[in-house]
Structure 1
Amino acid sequence: MAKYPEQNLKTEWIYDGITPDAVEWTKSFGEFLTKKQNEIKPLTTGQLRKFFGEIKRIESNVEKYRNDIAMLKPLLAYAVGRDTIKYNKKGQNIINNKTHIKEFAEEVEKGIDAVLNGKNLKSDFNNFVKIIEAIVAYHKYYGGQENNN
């Protein structure tokens, strides 16, 4: 079975459709995003919602908003940049993320690239949206919170 982090998002799920392995992967990834690891806090529902809202807008008319698909990557980069924390530890400048937004961005960018490089924009984007919807659903199921205070 495909589980995160041993398995990454597969482009074949974008091109060929959602498989049971894809669902299992979204489940494990959604759960991962809700867990605290060392100093990295869970991804918040607000962070997910900002991105999810944008993909749903594009989904409403994929042909009209096709150029906005590529702009999802800078949107993710901005979210990762906003989430960084800088500190000095034993004379070394350290930059870390506060939440799992970086891991989310890295996986989702694989899906964006697959859509951009695919042959069937509408179908590929539809499969991409299904993957994101499943991640959001499992994130909520496993206790995704609005904020990490």
Structure 2
Amino acid sequence: MEKQFNGKNHFKDGNAKKPKSKTDFEEQNDVLNRNSFDTNWVIEGADAKLPDFAEALGEYMANNKLTNSKIRSIYGEIKRIQMGKFEQEKASFFLLRPKVAYALGRDKNNKGLKLFKLIFDKAYPLVHDQKTYQNFCNLIEAILAYHKANGGKDN
């Protein structure tokens, strides 16, 4: 006998229909969409909404296993590039993307790192010159500052 769905999350035999759970990607995408990532933060610069966005993401990352040690090499490279001229450091910037992917590949279940990669992947293609790189750095620094402020740990 075939079970028939009665429209109330139950089948006629009384068994509840199992709700579909979100994938990690869907969850991080929801966090990003609820907090309205604005491409102009990289293209034009920060505005009054960026700190609220950074706080929400930093808090999520701190509460979902992102540690300072997981992003230390990436953040260190971001800062090293920032100290030079973007035109001379372009190759290093392009290699940040595989570094972020590698970090996540080493810890695939880290929801905080998944969100970091998602925001990185949205901001990365917007960087084309010294100005947009500086704005990119400001965005990442704001998020990581709130990550630390919300208990982001060293290990």
Shift of 1:48: 2.4
Structure 1 counterpart of 2:61, which letter?
A: L
The TM-score normalised by the length of structure 2 is 0.74
Question: Could you give the per-residue CA deviations for residues 84-116 of structure 1, whole angstroms, max 9, x where no partner exists?
Answer: 2xxxxxxxxxxxx13421111011111111104
Which one has a larger percent helix, Structure 1 or Structure 2? 2
Matched, 1:19 2:47: yes
CA–CA distance in 1 between the matches of 2:58 and 2:72?
14
CA–CA distance in 2 between the matches of 1:72 and 1:78?
10
- The structure 2 residue matched to 1:63, chosen from 87, 98, 101, is 87
SS in 1 for 2:37: coil
> Structure 2: where are the runs of 5+ without partners?
1-29
Partner of residue 117, structure 2: 105
RMSD: 1.7
> Structure 1: where are the runs of 5+ without partners?
37-41, 85-96
CA–CA distance in 1 between the matches of 2:135 and 2:110?
29
Residues 75 and 108 of structure 1, relative CA distance in 2, 3 Å threshold = same
Q: Is the 8 A contact 1:83 1:99 kept in 2?
A: no
Deviant stretches of 4+, over 6 Å: none
CA–CA distance in 2 between the matches of 1:105 and 1:98?
11
Partner of residue 105, structure 2: 81
- The structure 1 residue matched to 2:151, chosen from 133, 143, 146, is 143
Mark the structure with the bigger radius of gyration: 2
Which one has a larger percent strand, Structure 1 or Structure 2? 1
Question: Could you give the per-residue CA deviations for residues 14-48 of structure 1, whole angstroms, max 9, x where no partner exists?
Answer: 11110111111011100110114xxxxx2001122
Partner of residue 126, structure 2: 114
Identity of aligned residues (%): 33
Structure 2 counterpart of 1:51, which letter?
A: I
